[in-house]
């Protein structure tokens, strides 16, 4: 179900008009109450966003000036020369000079506005001379980040607890704008993003950066930003991409150079640990504990924490023939997904250990008690088998 609060975006001019009206009415309120009705773009954090902000403001003033220049004389003429005041109608048609003037002046104004706008759009697309390139892949419903040339790749899932989403608990400060693993980038450097998608069109959006770029399956799109001020910046997917659309936030952590280097070291250590872990043999309890986390972050949105799924949309895993049947068929379904259904292939997103853990968890949770263990080595074996 789409709740009304999610349909704010994309209603366009109608919504803007209502919002402006609210802002006008809010003018009558005390300042403290008025602060909530901010009707401007968010404070720009990148140089690009600052230029967008300034251009937007300039054009807004131009529009206001045109409004005054057109409507004030018109109102005066209508009132002064009204018939009720006994004014006789003028009898003329065609005035070449006036017609040329009222064609030429708007054309010149339009060109004067299009010139800086076009230059700015061109610079938004200019990703040359970047310091760091990150590949961003949209998935239903999470973002994947890969630091090109750095062996760092991870999935960023929303970390808002389902209890807040269900209304069982009051909403936190960053409700649906928080993730388990944010994108981390160094301050002051030009970050180039190359964006794509594995399923449907998503859109990577951080308002304060002035970046909103569609991620389109089968295509690579580019965007860039440079942010000088360290801090946490938030946004979300801005292209309606299915039932989980409201649950794929974007969080970027802008840090100093030293902190970024330390973070990179830490990520590499994680990768090394995962590689070492891939050859280890684990106990059931270990796999289940890790599997529960992997399940919570990647599977519970559809199959539900209870393993009961959503009847008619997502099958229950508790009691499922696949999750309690043949082990390699189960591994295959999770690793390769099922074509033309919402069940995606997790083989590329999850490590051998994560896959082994989540599959073991599914085979030994809820009403499932197969007692089976799936080890990372089993996943690796099936991967090389299916690669043939
Ligand atoms: Cu999306």
CA distances from 8 to 33, 178, 184 (A): 21, 20, 29
Compute the distance between CA of residue 46 and CA of residue 37 in angstroms, rounded to an integer: 24
Residues 6+ apart with CB under 8 A from 3: none
Q: How many angstroms separate the alpha carbon of residue 247 from the centre of ligand 1?
A: 8
Q: Residue 177 in 3-state DSSP?
A: coil
Residue 265 pLDDT > 60: yes
Q: How confident is the model at residue 388 (pLDDT cuts 50, 70, 90)?
A: very low
Q: Give the pLDDT score at 269.
A: 86
Least confident of 57-71, 84-98, 326-340: 84-98
| Residue-wise pLDDT tens digits, 180-226 | 999 999 999 999 999 999 999 999 999 999 999 999 999 999 999 99
For ligand 1, the distance from its centroid to the CA atom of residue 249, given in whole angstroms, is 9
Architecture of domain 40-124: Orthogonal Bundle (1.10)
**Cα 343 to averaged position of ligand 1 atoms, centre (Å):** 16
Ligand 1 centre to CA of 217 (Å) is 12
Q: What is the pLDDT of residue 21?
A: 64
**Ligand 1 center–CA 200 separation, angstroms:** 8
Residue 27 confidence (pLDDT)? 59
Ligand 1 centroid from CA 243, angstroms = 9
Distance CA 229, CA 209 (A): 11
What pLDDT does residue 8 have? 41
Res. 291: pLDDT tops 90: yes
Of residues 210 and 89, more confidently modeled: 210
> In angstroms, rounded to a whole number, what is the distance separating the alpha carbons of residues 373 and 283?
8
Q: How confident is the model at residue 167 (pLDDT cuts 50, 70, 90)?
A: confident
Give the range among 155-169, 202-216, 317-331 with minimum mean pLDDT.
155-169
- pLDDT for the residue 348: 81
Q: Distance from the CA of 273 to the center of ligand 1, in angstroms?
A: 31
Q: What is the predicted pLDDT for the residue at 292?
A: 93
The structure's pTM equals 0.68
Residue 291 CA to ligand 1 center (angstroms) comes to 25
How much is the average pLDDT of 262-276? 85
Task: Answer for the pair 19, 38: CB distance below 8 angstroms, yes or no.
Answer: no
Predicted local distance difference test score (pLDDT) of residue 237: 96
Mean pLDDT over 345-352 rounds to 86
Rounded to the nearest whole angstrom, what is the distance from the C-alpha of residue 144 to the centroid of ligand 1? Answer: 12
User: Which position has the higher pLDDT, 349 or 27?
Assistant: 349
Q: Taking Cα atoms as reference points, which of 349, 292, 306 lies closest to residue 140? A: 349
- Tokens linked to 134: 């990150």
Domain ranges of the chain: 40-124, 132-167+174-274, 278-386
Q: Percent of the chain, pLDDT > 70?
A: 89
CA 213 to ligand 1 center in whole angstroms? 11
DSSP state of 256: -
Percent of the chain surpassing pLDDT 90: 62
The answer, yes or no, to whether residue 123 has pLDDT greater than 90, is: yes
CA of 74 to the centre of ligand 1 (A): 48
Confidence of residue 26 (pLDDT cuts 50, 70, 90): low
Q: Is the peptide bond before 141 cis (omega within 30 degrees of 0)?
A: yes
22-31, 154-163, 341-350: lowest mean pLDDT where?
22-31
More confident residue, 2 or 165: 165
Which CATH architecture does the domain made up of 278-386 adopt? Orthogonal Bundle (1.10)
Q: What is the mean pLDDT of residues 275-282?
A: 79
> Domain 132-167+174-274 adopts which CATH fold?
Immunoglobulin-like (2.60.40)
Q: How many angstroms does the Cα of residue 203 sit away from the middle of ligand 1?
A: 6
- Rounded-to-integer distance, Cα 292 and Cα 271, Å: 20
Q: Is the pLDDT of residue 350 over 90?
A: no
Q: What is the model's pLDDT at position 275?
A: 76
User: Quick one: average pLDDT of 31-50?
Assistant: 75
Q: How far is the CA of 197 from the centre of ligand 1 (A)?
A: 9
248 CA to middle of ligand 1, Å? 6
With cut-offs at 50, 70 and 90, classify the pLDDT of residue 272.
Answer: confident
Q: How many residues does the chain have?
A: 388
354: pLDDT strictly greater than 70? yes
> DSSP state, 306?
T
Burial class (CB in 10 A: 0-12, 13-18, 19+), 183: buried
The pLDDT tens digits for 105-117 are: 999 999 999 999 9
Distance CA 70, CA 376 (A): 73
Average per-residue pLDDT for the chain: 87
Looking at the predicted structure, is the pLDDT value of residue 1 above 50?
no
Burial 90-128 (b: 16+ CB within 10 A, else e): eeeeeeeeeeeeeeeeeeeeeeeeeeeeeeeeeebeeee
pLDDT of residue 35: 53
CA neighbor of 331 nearest in space, from 304, 367, 371, 358:
358
Q: How confident is the model at residue 18 (pLDDT cuts 50, 70, 90)?
A: low
SS3 state of residue 133: strand
């Amino acid at each position: 179900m789409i709740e009304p609060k999610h349909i704010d975006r994309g209603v366009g001019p109608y919504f803007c008009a209502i919002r402006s009206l609210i802002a006008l009415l809010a003018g009558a309120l005390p300042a403290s109450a008025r602060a909530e009705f901010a009707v401007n773009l968010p404070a720009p954090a990148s140089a690009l966003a600052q230029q967008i902000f300034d251009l937007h403001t300039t054009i807004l003033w131009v529009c206001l000036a045109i409004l005054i220049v057109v409507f004030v004389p018109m109102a005066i003429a209508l009132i002064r020369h009204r018939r009720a005041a006994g004014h006789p109608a003028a009898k003329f048609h065609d005035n070449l000079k006036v017609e040329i003037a009222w064609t030429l002046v708007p054309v010149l104004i339009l060109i004067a506005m299009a010139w800086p706008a076009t230059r700015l759009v061109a610079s938004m697309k200019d990703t040359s001379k970047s310091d760091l390139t990150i590949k961003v892949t949209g998935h239903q419903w999470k973002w994947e980040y890969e630091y090109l040339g750095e062996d760092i790749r991870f999935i960023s899932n929303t970390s808002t607890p389902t209890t807040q989403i269900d209304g069982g608990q009051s909403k936190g400060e960053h409700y649906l704008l928080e993730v388990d693993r944010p994108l981390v980038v160094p301050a002051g450097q030009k970050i180039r993003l190359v964006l794509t998608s594995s399923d449907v069109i998503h859109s990577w959006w951080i308002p304060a950066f002035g970046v909103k770029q569609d991620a389109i399956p089968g295509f690579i799109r580019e965007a860039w930003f440079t942010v000088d001020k360290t801090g946490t910046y938030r946004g979300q997917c801005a292209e309606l991409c299915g039932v989980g659309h409201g649950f794929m936030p974007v969080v970027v952590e802008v840090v100093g150079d030293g902190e970024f280097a330390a973070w990179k070291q830490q990520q590499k250590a994680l990768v090394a640990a995962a590689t070492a872990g891939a050859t280890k043999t684990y106990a059931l309890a270990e796999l289940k504990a890790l599997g529960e986390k992997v399940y919570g972050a990647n599977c519970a949105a559809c199959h539900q924490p209870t393993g009961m799924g959503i009847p008619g949309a997502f099958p229950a895993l508790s009691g499922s023939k696949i999750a309690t049947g043949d082990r390699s068929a189960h591994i295959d379904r999770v690793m390769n997904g099922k074509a033309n259904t919402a069940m995606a292939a997790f083989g590329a997103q999850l490590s051998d250990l994560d896959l082994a853990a989540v599959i073991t968890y599914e085979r030994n949770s809820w009403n499932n008690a197969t007692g089976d263990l799936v080890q990372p080595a089993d996943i690796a074996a099936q991967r090389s088998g299916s690669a043939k």
